[in-house]
């Protein structure tokens, strides 16, 4: 899909109406679950599961470990719109396609989004299985999701990114993680296009420019969410040490396996954190 911004406004509106016709819930909070992290949405109450392929104009993922459902449901009395899996730039989708679900959330009335992803750990204190609350990002994907004519109804031509990741939400996430005894840090995410993992020299470069974790997603969605004025929190699950740190190759199946392994405490964190995030949107 390479829709013009005006088309995006009306297409996202059309999809938002479609979703509203399937569930009476009206979420203000959205959740994007990355590689191997989708299981959390299976536990939502009063849930309606919409496979991406059943939603008009929705991008469909081909990546292994991505279930490809939009789940509308509740945790307690908090309504959530949760994506199980996302599409990636490396699959060949235009960035406008990758970020289209965020536009749909915007038209649905969503005011804040929690994005999660699997990432390689660069910082010396990180180890597989730990969580990193993103404080900032470095976009090395070679493009920007907002390139093209601006749709003013979504947001301004030159959106500010000074506090892309809400300070208030970062504080809440870190406090909740620590309270639960989870290995949780704060750090900077470098987004690369992929799909090949980085070389050791690229990781040395990323460390030098201030990155703590590296991955192939999230940043375009953050830019689009901020463009629509949404509050943003993002959490990386460190699934592996970045290339060259350990004397072994990075294997995608192992990346997914770590996601599965931390599933329990990741779900516990989300369950207690999401109602707090929702409360701050009121």
Footprint on this chain of ligand HPA (rule: CB under 6 A): 118-120, 197-198, 214-216, 239-240, 242, 250, 255
Instruction: Quote the least distance from Cβ 199 to ligand HPA, whole Å.
Output: 11
Instruction: Quote the least distance from Cβ 107 to ligand HPA, whole Å.
Output: 30
Instruction: Please answer whether residues 80 and 158 qualify as being in contact, where contact means their C-beta atoms are separated by less than 8 angstroms.
Output: no
Residue placing its CB nearer to ligand HPA in the complex, 132 or 224: 132
The catalytic position among 63, 83, 118, 190 is 118
66 catalytic residue (yes or no): yes
- List CB contacts of 193: < 8 A, sequence separation 6 or more: 89, 90, 140, 141, 142, 216
B/e letters for 259-271, b = 16+ CB within 10 Å, e = fewer, are beebbebbbebbe
Instruction: Quote the least distance from Cβ 131 to ligand HPA, whole Å.
Output: 13
Instruction: Please answer whether residues 56 and 22 qualify as being in contact, where contact means their C-beta atoms are separated by less than 8 angstroms.
Output: no
93 catalytic residue (yes or no): no
Instruction: Quote the least distance from Cβ 160 to ligand HPA, whole Å.
Output: 27
252 catalytic residue (yes or no): yes
String of DSSP letters for 239-263: EEEPTTTSSS---HHHHHHHHHHTH
90 catalytic residue (yes or no): yes
Residue placing its CB nearer to ligand HPA in the complex, 18 or 90: 90
118 catalytic residue (yes or no): yes
Residue placing its CB nearer to ligand HPA in the complex, 251 or 279: 251
Cα 8 → chain centroid: 20
Residues with catalytic annotation?
Answer: 35, 66, 88, 90-91, 118, 216-217, 240, 252
């Amino acid at each position: 899909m390479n829709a013009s911004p005006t088309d995006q406004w009306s297409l996202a509106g059309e999809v938002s109406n479609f979703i509203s016709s399937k569930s009476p819930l009206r979420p203000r909070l959205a959740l994007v679950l990355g590689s191997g992290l989708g299981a959390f949405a299976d536990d939502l109450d009063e849930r309606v599961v919409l496979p991406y392929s059943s939603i008009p104009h929705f991008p469909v993922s081909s990546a292994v470990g991505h279930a490809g459902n939009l789940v509308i449901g509740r945790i307690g009395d908090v309504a959530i719109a949760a994506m199980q899996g996302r599409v990636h730039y490396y699959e060949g989708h235009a960035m406008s396609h990758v970020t289209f679900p965020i536009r749909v959330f915007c038209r649905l009335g969503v005011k804040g989004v929690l994005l999660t992803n699997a990432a390689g750990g660069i910082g010396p204190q990180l180890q597989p299985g730990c969580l990193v609350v993103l404080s900032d990002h470095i976009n090395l994907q070679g493009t920007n999701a907002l390139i093209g004519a601006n749709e003013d109804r979504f947001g301004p031509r030159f959106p500010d990114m000074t506090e892309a990741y809400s300070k208030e939400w970062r504080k809440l996430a870190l406090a909740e993680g620590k309270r639960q005894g989870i290995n949780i840090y704060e750090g900077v995410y470098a987004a690369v296009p992929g799909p090949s993992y980085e070389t050791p020299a690229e990781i040395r470069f990323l460390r030098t420019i201030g990155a703590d974790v590296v991955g192939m997603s999230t940043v375009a969605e953050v830019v689009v969410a901020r463009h629509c004025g949404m509050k943003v929190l993002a959490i990386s699950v460190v699934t592996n040490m970045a290339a060259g740190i350990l004397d072994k190759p990075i294997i995608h199946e192992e990346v997914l396996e770590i996601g599965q392994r931390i599933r329990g405490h990741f779900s516990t964190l989300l369950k207690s954190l999401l109602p707090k995030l929702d409360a701050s949107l009121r």
